[in-house]
Structure 1
Amino acid sequence: MTQTQSDLAGLSRFIFRAPRWYTSLGFALVIAAFAGVAAFDSGEFSPTWRGFLFIGRDAWEGVFFIGVPTVVASVATTGVDRFVGGKLTPNRSSLLALAGELLIVAFTTVAAVLTVLTPLEQTFVYDSLIVSLASVFALRLLVIVAVSRRSLLLATVPASVQTVAAAALLFVYSGTLRYLEVGGPLLDAYLLPYLARSDQAPPEITAIGANHFLLLAVLCALYAGSVYALVVVIDRPWRKSLGVSPLDFLRGFIGHVAEGSRELEEFFETLGQDAIVPVTVLSFARDDGSEKARFVLPMIHPGPMGEIGGGNFPERVAMRAEGMAFPPHATAGHDFNLVTEREVDTVLDAVDRAMEDVEYSAEATTSVHARSGEAKVLGQGFGDDALLVSTFAPNFADDVEYGVGLTAATEARTQGLDDVMLVDAHNSNNGLEGPDLGHVTPGSQ
């Protein structure tokens, strides 16, 4: 396995299926309440402020200043994005809003811990909140550019929803407008009561002033420039050399997580190549002719990750088999991953055709072991065919390259066997880290 293949395989740990949008919203509000307790330290329990009877003021601050903008972003981003020609769906919008909230929670919680461990005061938490809002804008901008395929300028509109909603609440309830030289009698009489409501908010919020909003604007501009630079530096060279973009991968990943879409497979299909590989089947039948067990070994790799491509191949084999199914690991690396789940059907169709040509024998040999250096092979003959299982245990090894396995099987057939099923036991791997990942290539072992 190469380092690039290792990195791709390592992404499987991040594969999950996101809940529906309303579940994400409920979870977001709960997390916001806990974040408020952890980060906003008023030291009080208020049964009357804003009418909440069962939670402290800190929890309500979290719900109001972190949770409400998340809800607004979850509900409004899809409409705003589609208004400017985007393609963001409600599930993706909710997932993105939740990711933004988790980023805010991480910033504010770490800041709160630092205020406990250091001489920093509570205002540091609000400073961190401002920085986190700018970071949320940058994250949303990158994702929306990837998902909606809009220009950076247009993408800033839906990307700013969560940050603007949070900033608006902080602006109103911190009373910042009272400290600005803005307005006149009409503004003071009709708008100021609605745009400056510090008397209805916790006194700690008044620590936020005009300089915080200026900082937020500057950071958002800098982060937008960073996103643009990232797109220019990474995206354009990929498109020029490979015809695909890392943003396509990001869009496909989000689509798979949020909705189970096939966009990620479309990305891999763009990079993939056609290949003809052998498919070997070893079947065991009962006396009445019914199938007892089936070994299915196409020379492919069950990947690249999760249920994408051939990742779900073993389950599909088990569903197709009449008896017990054994889909062992073939002597093939990640360059033989199936790029789409549709190709699994192609392989299974080949298995069905192979089953029609299976010739059963009542004879079998005892199993024998052979060893050469670190490599060990367990073999057993069935009629004129054989099942061979290779391993390097207790030494470490990863995928056996396609050419190595094909050569070994061919060598076995020169000894008088009609057909050989060569299995990679794949049972002694020390992970995906380090300079030598154990890929078995010609001459490496």
Structure 2
Amino acid sequence: MTDKGGNSALEDLSRYIFAAPAWPRSVAIMLLMGIVIDGAGYIGGRNYLLVFGFSGYVIPALFAFVLTKPSVESVGGKITWNRSALLAMACMVFQVIVSLLLTFLPYPNFYSVLFAVALGVVFSVRLIVLAGIADYRMARMVPAASLQSIAAAIAGTYYFGMDFLYFVIVLHLLFGCGVLLFLWLVERPLRKNFRISALHFINAFIAHNTDGDKALDEFFMEIGEDVYVQQASLFFSRAGRGDITFTVPNLHPGPMGEIGGANLPKLLHDMIGMDTFVAHGCATHDFNLVSESEVTGMADAVRASRRDAVFFPKATPSRRYSYGSVDICAQGFGDTLLLIATRSPEKTEDLEYAIGLAVMAECQRRYRHVAFVDGHNCMVDVTEPVVAGSLSAYEYWKAAQVAADGCLTLPCASFEVGAAHRAVPFSREEGFGDLGIMALVVRVEGQVTAYVLFDGNNVEHGVREVLRDHLLTVVDECEIMTTDSHVVNTLSGRNPVGYRIPAEEIIPYVEDAVRTAIADLAPAEAAGGTGWVEGVTVFGSNRISQLASTVNAMLTFIAPLGLAILLFAFLLSVVAYLVLL
């Protein structure tokens, strides 16, 4: 899930992303405005501006629409036809508002001044927008930004004379300086705190949301820090059947979409092997991988821990242990203890790595290897993670202690293991990641336990209980888990399993996965392994919160700051007009 101050803050930036309307709609609005302007001019007796609605407004906007895309792409930027048309149409609206602001005054010559100022506004708006959405290198965007105002200036020169053209050139210089000042102020917070360009970050963020571009990884690599974490794994060897790996990374699959390590479970699954279960360990968004490439180090740690693994032919039955609000499903496999913790029906959130480390250290007094899983299976809201020192953290630690002591007293017997992987017809937008549903079934002396793993980010409140109650008609014990994959989160931190797809529609696929795993049961031996993932680069302590907060703060003052600078440039243009007059 997401911690409210971290990943959800980054996802909040997505509210500024919207789909541009199809370009014919924008073009139609331009034509309609041109007709209205010419009609109003004719009715108002402004014959000296005959057809100026088209020559001074519509044609320059269409000119900019057609040439902006090739102009931007010729210098390595990206912009769609829809965005080009929307930008041209929006700037035409600004042009109309500014130039016709005071047309009720009986001074025809004053209109040319306002029209010239409007062209300066159009140039500055286009330059800022193109630098933000197409290419942060502003010098490269100047030609594309000036297309609309240059075309309009040519029409204005025909109507108002050469003095108008000189005035427009001066205004472009003034408004251009205003844009430089504006962007310098906007860039300062991120440059000061993170030494990165705000415009470059916005370019990359928009590219990710629209094209799936990976450029954001470069930013996170720059601000990230290296960590060293334990990763416990449970290996099952079956005679005549494929091996099964159950691994518990203490790194977080975030922050969102395809950014960083958001698809960590799928990547690690593919690197290790087909029957690999990637559960959710103890990690918050501070431990988000900065890049998919960091997953390789995790896979290496799992392989290294298997090389020295000692296999045992016996296991305990599964049992449940509780302390406070925490409930743990525990099962011992030789010298390895598997713990799956939940607080459902209360919220079950991310746990800080320190909590997992404390739990593993406590239980390693009884078992050599401890695979401690955060079931991550009850989402009430997008809220804070569980931090060390809190009551919830203490309850997790005590429940694990009770479970470790309890498992030591249970009899051991030979066991069978089966696995299944069930694809589902549900999309990421519906809360299901690429791995769908996986089921691991263990049978010890007749007791059948099913561990069901959803590739998703948490489970909607109450859905775990519905699924579990149904599965208990098939098996003796079961637990529901999620990988916490954040590929299902792009525009919102809330998209758990069962939120968009009712539990009743999920049940057939879960049951099928469990029954298939039961059919796959075969005698097995188990071994544990605890490896170290060394020097993996993550976002770092509170860095994502700081980054998202900085960008969100910037976005709140951009509008008033931009308006203030435009007004200042307008005043300078009045001074320039008086001087040139």
Q: In terms of mean alpha carbon deviation, does 1-10 or 304-313 score higher?
A: 1-10
Distance in 2, Cα, partners of 1:218 & 1:104: 21
Gap change, CA 1:299 and 1:30, over 3 Å in 2: same
Q: Percent identity?
A: 26
Distance in 2, Cα, partners of 1:100 & 1:14: 17
Superposed displacement of residue 421, structure 1: 0.8
Superposed displacement of residue 332, structure 1: 0.7
Q: In terms of mean alpha carbon deviation, does 220-229 or 275-284 score higher?
A: 220-229
1:77 aligns with 2:57: no
Q: In terms of mean alpha carbon deviation, does 258-267 or 66-75 score higher?
A: 258-267
Distance in 1, Cα, partners of 2:268 & 2:17: 22
Superposed displacement of residue 106, structure 1: 5.8
Specify the SS of the correspondent of 1:305: coil
Higher share of residues assigned strand? 2
> Which residue in the other structure is 1:177 paired with?
157
- The answer to whether the Cα contact below 8 Å between 1:331 and 1:400 also exists between their aligned partners in 2 is yes
TM-score by length of 1: 0.65
Distance in 2, Cα, partners of 1:106 & 1:133: 12
Q: 1:102 aligns with which of 78, 81, 86?
A: 86
Unaligned runs of 5+ in 2: 38-52, 97-110, 393-581
Specify the SS of the correspondent of 2:314: coil
- The answer to whether the Cα contact below 8 Å between 1:398 and 1:440 also exists between their aligned partners in 2 is no
1:281 aligns with 2:263: no
Specify the SS of the correspondent of 2:267: helix
Distance in 2, Cα, partners of 1:328 & 1:63: 58
The residue type equivalent to 1:283 in the other structure is: F
Superposed displacement of residue 404, structure 1: 0.6
Gap change, CA 1:62 and 1:34, over 3 Å in 2: farther
The residue type equivalent to 1:301 in the other structure is: H
Gap change, CA 1:321 and 1:40, over 3 Å in 2: farther
> Which residue in the other structure is 2:189 paired with?
234
The residue type equivalent to 1:422 in the other structure is: F
The residue type equivalent to 2:149 in the other structure is: A
Superposed displacement of residue 229, structure 1: 2.2
> Which residue in the other structure is 1:340 paired with?
291
Superposed displacement of residue 263, structure 1: 4.2
Cα deviation code 1:186-215 (max 9, x no counterpart): xxxxxxxxxxxxxxxxxxxxxxx9999998
Gap change, CA 1:427 and 1:13, over 3 Å in 2: farther
1:283-322 aligned within 5 A: 283-291=235-243, 293-322=244-273
The residue type equivalent to 1:274 in the other structure is: D
> Which residue in the other structure is 2:141 paired with?
159
Higher normalized contact order (CA 8 Å, seq sep 6+, divided by chain length) = 2
> Which residue in the other structure is 2:360 paired with?
409
Distance in 2, Cα, partners of 1:392 & 1:63: 62
1:418-433 aligned within 5 A: 418-432=368-382
TM-score by length of 2: 0.51
Distance in 1, Cα, partners of 2:17 & 2:232: 30
Gap change, CA 1:387 and 1:134, over 3 Å in 2: same
Q: In terms of mean alpha carbon deviation, does 423-432 or 322-331 score higher?
A: 423-432
Specify the SS of the correspondent of 2:225: coil
- Structure 1 runs (4+) deviating above 6 angstroms are 12-16, 107-112, 126-130, 209-218, 257-261
> Which residue in the other structure is 1:369 paired with?
320
Q: In terms of mean alpha carbon deviation, does 129-138 or 359-368 score higher?
A: 129-138
Distance in 1, Cα, partners of 2:204 & 2:299: 26
> Which residue in the other structure is 2:150 paired with?
168
Distance in 2, Cα, partners of 1:417 & 1:69: 70
The residue type equivalent to 1:345 in the other structure is: T
- The answer to whether the Cα contact below 8 Å between 2:329 and 2:339 also exists between their aligned partners in 1 is yes
The residue type equivalent to 1:94 in the other structure is: I
Cα deviation code 1:109-147 (max 9, x no counterpart): 8999xxxxxxxxxx9xx9999866642222224567x74
Unaligned runs of 5+ in 1: 19-23, 44-57, 80-87, 113-122, 149-154, 184-208
1:272 aligns with 2:224: yes
- The answer to whether the Cα contact below 8 Å between 1:400 and 1:439 also exists between their aligned partners in 2 is yes
- The answer to whether the Cα contact below 8 Å between 1:103 and 1:132 also exists between their aligned partners in 2 is no
Gap change, CA 1:99 and 1:218, over 3 Å in 2: farther
Higher share of residues assigned helix? 1
